Chains A and B, each alone.
Chain A
Amino acid sequence: MLKLTGLSKRYDTGDLALNDINLTVPAGQVMALIGPSGAGKSTLIRCVNRLVEPSTGAIELNDQDITRVRGTKLRQARRQIGMIFQNYALVERLSVMENVLSGRLAYVGFWRSFLRRFPASDIQQAFNLLERVGLQTMFDKRGDALSGGQKQRVGIARALMQNPKLLLVDEPTASLDPKTSRQIMRLICELCREQQLAAIINIHDVVLAQQFVDRVVGLRGGELVFDGDPKDLSPDILTSIYGEEDWSVVDDDNEDAEPPAAASVDIAGAHP
């Protein structure tokens, strides 16, 4: 389904974020991507839908090489790939319904989308998805009126509106509390299995990942260091991914729960 061959990314600053990644994700498989901060997880999933341009290597989606496509071709490739974000990335001043329908933008023309005249089938699908994520009564609410977990549900519905073949999920639970995190992870994984979607989930919380996914890939310093079943994640392997630490107490505590953006705002506020 998705096939990455020799994928590398070197940023303009000279940092090598990804080094010769080879990875195949079959349809219907939910894969977790784990690794320390700065290991290149985020770069990897952004390379797949070309929000970040890979330096070398190839990305094939259903046997079509999307590494060098541009314009309309790129947009057609992107609409097969849904993406879910850490900070939800909703347009807060638009209503929930509009946010969900925005997943359909690549299927309708500009004026149609501008005047909000989506086809009835799209609206039905949007409503069904909202029902599926449990927000059908909220469809007229504005994005900024929702709680974090609700926003993430809208983000999931938006991604599924694209009728994607592949889901890219970037730290879906990093801004949520432990209970909501579990609910969101469960929802994503259930939906992937229902619709036979492949998914790559970037995640910090190893325990949470083990609980829900089919396969775990470990990334360290831009290189693949582990690829296997979640049950095979031993303390030794965790050490090889994250470095030395006492892994026996790995439990619920989710150290990176705070999104980095909030931290930097705090610093800016303290030293004007």
Chain B
Amino acid sequence: MPVKHVNNVPVWQRREPLKQYAIWAGWMLGGMLFLLCWKVISDNTIWEFMYDAGTQAGSLIGRMIPPDWSITGSLMVPLWDTINIATVGTALGILIAFPLSFLAARNTTPHPALRAVALAIIVSSRSINALIWAMLLVTIVGPGIFAGMLAIALRSIGFVGKLLYEAIEEIHPTPVEALSSTGAARTQVLAYAVWPQIMPAFAGISVYRWDINIREATTLGLVGAGGIGLQMNAAINNLAWAQVATVFVLIFATVIVSEWVSAKVRHAVI
């Protein structure tokens, strides 16, 4: 316990002096960094726009309420497309992530070089948002649902791959040892000792990612990759805020349903 002597009277202190100074210095540096960053942002901001932000917000909300329900029917097909983008994209992503995670896990990889390649793919896929993948893919395969599905798949590879290879690295090693000692082939050991152990994690991760992908798929239309985002983008460009509000309500409902489904499924498998 750190004790300081003031006039020979011991005084209790919470930390060693050096540590206390280090913590103060850390807070000081953090605060200074924050002020510096704030200054950069403030320099790049036209503050005149801020003065009427309140009125702007007010009028925006005023124009959004009530939502324009007449377009709900025409939004059903885009909504169906959005769900397909998320579901098919997730399935494609899982299809690629599954073998990749076995290459990336330390205890199942056939070769360290392959492991490095698999990890590089996972990191690249994870670092880049689905929307950026969509922007790229729209220039490559053309606008539409297909680009959206590929974008979702590309983003999901990294997410599913990372969580799955971590799950593989955490399995109990003894069943693997036991099945190797029966003379089973590598693939048989994977199917009998590794797969049953990671199966619940795999199901949970997949459904979780599907839930996230539903949210992400709602925005892909902004860059032309299909789904309800296309209608939202059109409405925003036309400043038809009442229609935008309808889209928002639909997105909100879809997300809540998908969250409920994913919670149910995860509950069932774990």
Q: What residues make up the interface of A, taking CB atoms closer than 8 Å to B? A: 49, 51, 74-83, 85, 87, 89-94, 98, 102-106, 110, 113-114, 155, 158-159, 162, 168
Contact = CB atoms under 8 A, between A and B. Distances in A.
Contact of B185 (A110, A155, A168): A110
Nearest to B192: A102
A83 B197 contact: no
A51 B180 CA distance: 8
A114 B191 contact: yes
Contacts of B193: 91
Given A85-B174, A91-B196, A94-B196, A79 B182 contact: yes
Contacts of A51: 177, 180-181
Interface of B: 174-175, 177-185, 187-188, 191-193, 196-197, 199-200
B178 A89 contact: yes
Q: DSSP class of B's interface residues: helix, strand, loop or mixed?
A: helix
Contacts of B199: 93
B192 A162 contact: no
A85 B188 CA distance: 20
Given A87-B174, A90-B175, A158 B183 contact: no
Contacts of A98: 192
A89 B184 contact: no
A106 B182 contact: yes
6 contacts: A79-B182, A79-B183, A81-B181, A87-B174, A106-B185, A162-B183
Given A89-B177, A91-B175, A78 B191 contact: no
A94 B174 CA distance: 15
Nearest to A110: B187
A194 B181 CA distance: 23
B197 A113 contact: no
B159 to A, nearest CB: 24
Nearest to B176: A89
Contacts of B175: 89-92
Contacts of B174: 85, 87, 89
B192 A113 contact: yes
B182 A93 contact: no
A87 B174 CA distance: 8
A78 B197 contact: no
Given A78-B183, A83-B178, 16 more contacts: A74-B183, A78-B181, A85-B174, A89-B175, A90-B178, A91-B175, A91-B192, A91-B196, A92-B196, A94-B192, A102-B182, A105-B185, A110-B187, A110-B191, A113-B188, A162-B183
B201 to A, nearest CB: 11
A102 B177 CA distance: 13
Contacts of A74: 183
A102 B180 contact: no
Nearest to B200: A93
B196 A93 contact: yes
Nearest to A101: B192
A13 B180 CA distance: 24
Contacts of B180: 51, 78
A110 B189 CA distance: 10
Contacts of A78: 180-183
Q: 5 closest Cβ contacts across the A-B interface?
A: A106-B183, A79-B183, A105-B184, A78-B183, A89-B178
Contacts of A168: 181
A106 B187 CA distance: 11
A93 B177 CA distance: 16
A98 B195 CA distance: 13
A162 B182 contact: yes
A236 B137 CA distance: 79
A155 B193 CA distance: 14
Contacts of A81: 181
Contacts of B177: 51, 85, 89
A105 B188 contact: yes
Contacts of B192: 91, 94, 98, 102, 105, 113
Contacts of B191: 110, 113-114
A252 to B, nearest CB: 27
A23 B200 CA distance: 45
B81 to A, nearest CB: 36
A103 B200 CA distance: 24
A103 B199 CA distance: 21
A19 B187 CA distance: 35
Nearest to B198: A93
Interface hub of B178, B191, B192 (most chain A Cβ within 10 A): B178
A77 B183 contact: yes
Contacts of A89: 174-175, 177-178
Contacts of B183: 74-80, 105-106, 162
Nearest to A84: B178
Interface hub of A82, A102, A103 (most chain B Cβ within 10 A): A102
Nearest to A91: B175
A110 B192 CA distance: 10
B197 A91 contact: yes
